[in-house]
Chain A
């Protein structure tokens, strides 16, 4: 485990090194194939130095007296988004799990529902967001952030439903036949065989779901105009990017941190389930 944490840390450092290396060695005008830019410019405007970004994090957000240091504002925004994404992920896990159970139990349901689970992911967030906001506004006690959580859940449930379904079906025929010979019902087969067998598929599914939920929360915030989170901060800070290029990058770093935390939480979950985890499929 420590090794994995260290590796993750090394990965982040490597990313930083690649950033600085490209900034140092890449052409200032970027790399273009014809009209199409395939690599960005390396100017301070397009790619500020990492230490400029870190330095910016320590300075106040604005010159208004009492303005918080940027790092505090970014962390607060990260917590808000993490909460929204967490709620969306939880909802997506519950819904995805129930859907997988239904599809496993009733093969007609699998044939009827699975294509729509996949199709659902082709609906772009920009089409979904105004609808969700519109529905939510008609419900009493509905809060703005719930719309964003719902969008996050919408993106998260698909990999979970598909992954859990594969996991539930992964028990070997001989094992199923054994339980059948014991006259075990659907429920005992589920709890004693199918669920433990599904863990190898469950964890990658939860991880994919977690990153989808974070992406959904960030994009959902931008799309719906929910304030307080990191997605909104990125677009608002981006307006200052001409004169203060490090500011939006500081918020982007925050979004990266949320993704790492989300995946870290799922890794902790993996530790709790390690008894069932003799192997794991690649995510």
Chain B
């Protein structure tokens, strides 16, 4: 009896050990990176340069150009083995880059400039998004058709540096953000807006706006439509700041010729990915979902289309940093105070903050291939959203 109990104890302990080990060995293969990275056979892998690009969130159509550059083999064609690194809730992409954990990072310009001021040595090498996708949306019955209409309302804001266009807009319209509106912290879903806690909610055209349009209006039993909403579009109202850009390591750009060369290639292949996404919206959405997005297909198709609108047309060329818009971003970042009285940056960024050197070279190559890098004739498509974005 005594022995059998001891044996049972040993068996039990062995079972638990096995379970723990199984936990170790069934290593959840980093599905994120493996699904997104180029399929390299062992023979060709040696010849490819490994490159890690830090995204701002999970794989979604916001990063369609990168996803398609992987999927269509544009990186591989230029000798790169690119891994797209998804972000967590506490990941700061530009800091990952500054720490040397990744080779490039996608980041909004104002936030990256704040990190630069805090010491991050990074440079904007391609400004793929030419327009801001941030809006403040409200239901028609709230009557908020102008910025001044926000007066006395519950205004949603994400904070974390996503709020400066809103504050610049309110200040520009003569509102005092501290006293004229009630700023409400907004979660990353739209339930606060849908349930009426927030009168005017912050929404990216390519994400949260779609989340609202994928929701059922309890009054009609049908999905909400754009006709139900008033949209304050910061880009159109003149308060848009530069958003998604590709950032590189400043020191390596200065002295490392291999890194300079890789930078041109990354910009070139990514730009080609964005051109593909422009011309193949439905396919891009499917590829993004296949690459691991947990959001639905119609949501990703909407997102691809909306992101395309932020990029195209690019009269100066895809990814080119236009000085006037850059300066406007810097000016808003320097002068606008948020709810706690802070500005994004205190000083004008130095000359290393951006360069068109690599994007110019990349666009010259793409033009030589006969690709359209300005999208002058670009027309958005119309996307029908399904409930829940499915």
A234 to chain B, nearest CB (A): 10
B8 within 8 A of A: yes
CA distance A226 to B8 in the complex (A): 37
A110 within 8 A of B: no
Q: Nearest chain-A residue to B187 (Cβ)?
A: A238
- A233/B294 contact (C-beta < 8 A), A83-B22, A145-B28 known: yes
Check B194–A45 contact: CB distance below 8 A.
Answer: yes
B289 within 8 A of A: yes
CA distance A89 to B19 in the complex (A): 11
Within 8 A of A (CB), among B337-353: none
Check B194–A242 contact: CB distance below 8 A.
Answer: yes
Chain A positions 267 through 283: 1 when the CB is less than 8 Å from some CB of chain B, otherwise 0: 01101111100000000
Most B-side CB within 10 Å, residue of A86, A134, A271: A86
CA distance A236 to B87 in the complex (A): 12
Check B27–A45 contact: CB distance below 8 A.
Answer: no
Contacts of B380 in A (CB 8 A): none
Check B9–A273 contact: CB distance below 8 A.
Answer: yes
Interface size class of A (residues with CB under 8 A): 35 or more
A244 within 8 A of B: yes
7 tightest Cβ-Cβ pairs between the two chains A and B:
A272-B12, A244-B388, A225-B88, A86-B23, A243-B214, A90-B20, A227-B32
Check B16–A228 contact: CB distance below 8 A.
Answer: no
- A224/B9 contact (C-beta < 8 A), A41-B195, A143-B30, A265-B16 known: no
- Select one of B31, B85, B390 contacting A63, CB under 8 A: B390
B218 to chain A, nearest CB (A): 8
Check A242–B215 contact: CB distance below 8 A.
Answer: yes
A82 within 8 A of B: yes
Stretch of B69-77, B159-167, B295-303, B310-318 lying at the A interface: B295-303
A240 within 8 A of B: yes
Within 8 A of A (CB), among B83-99: 85-92, 95, 99
CA distance A233 to B92 in the complex (A): 20
Contacts of B85 in A (CB 8 A): 225
Chain B contact residue count (CB 8 A cutoff): 66
CA distance A1 to B101 in the complex (A): 50
Contacts of A232 in B (CB 8 A): 58, 88
B185 within 8 A of A: no
Check B16–A243 contact: CB distance below 8 A.
Answer: no
CA distance A275 to B2 in the complex (A): 9
Contacts of A133 in B (CB 8 A): 101
B365 within 8 A of A: no
Check A224–B91 contact: CB distance below 8 A.
Answer: yes
Check B30–A243 contact: CB distance below 8 A.
Answer: no
Counted as pairs of residues, one from A and one from B, with CB atoms less than 8 Å apart, the total is: 175
Check A242–B214 contact: CB distance below 8 A.
Answer: yes
B191 within 8 A of A: yes
A31 within 8 A of B: no
Contacts of B8 in A (CB 8 A): 271-272
A205 to chain B, nearest CB (A): 15
- Which residues in A have some Cβ–Cβ distance to B below 8 Å? 41, 43, 45-46, 61-64, 67, 79-80, 82-87, 89-90, 126, 129-130, 133-134, 137, 143-145, 221-229, 232-233, 235-244, 247, 265, 268-269, 271-275
Chain B positions 90 through 132: 1 when the CB is less than 8 Å from some CB of chain A, otherwise 0: 1110010001010000000000000000000000000000000
Q: A129-B90, A242-B194, A272-B11 are in contact. List 14 more A-B contacts (CB 8 A).
A: A43-B218, A62-B295, A63-B386, A87-B23, A90-B23, A144-B30, A236-B295, A239-B211, A240-B211, A240-B299, A240-B389, A244-B296, A265-B16, A269-B13
Contacts of B171 in A (CB 8 A): none
Check A83–B58 contact: CB distance below 8 A.
Answer: no
Check B12–A62 contact: CB distance below 8 A.
Answer: no
B87 to chain A, nearest CB (A): 5
Instruction: List 9 A-B pairs, Cβ < 8 Å.
Output: A61-B294, A86-B22, A227-B86, A228-B29, A228-B31, A228-B32, A242-B194, A243-B215, A243-B387
CA distance A241 to B296 in the complex (A): 12
B3 to chain A, nearest CB (A): 11
CA distance A80 to B189 in the complex (A): 25
CA distance A84 to B26 in the complex (A): 9
Check B211–A134 contact: CB distance below 8 A.
Answer: no
Check A268–B12 contact: CB distance below 8 A.
Answer: yes
Contacts of B211 in A (CB 8 A): 239-240, 242-243
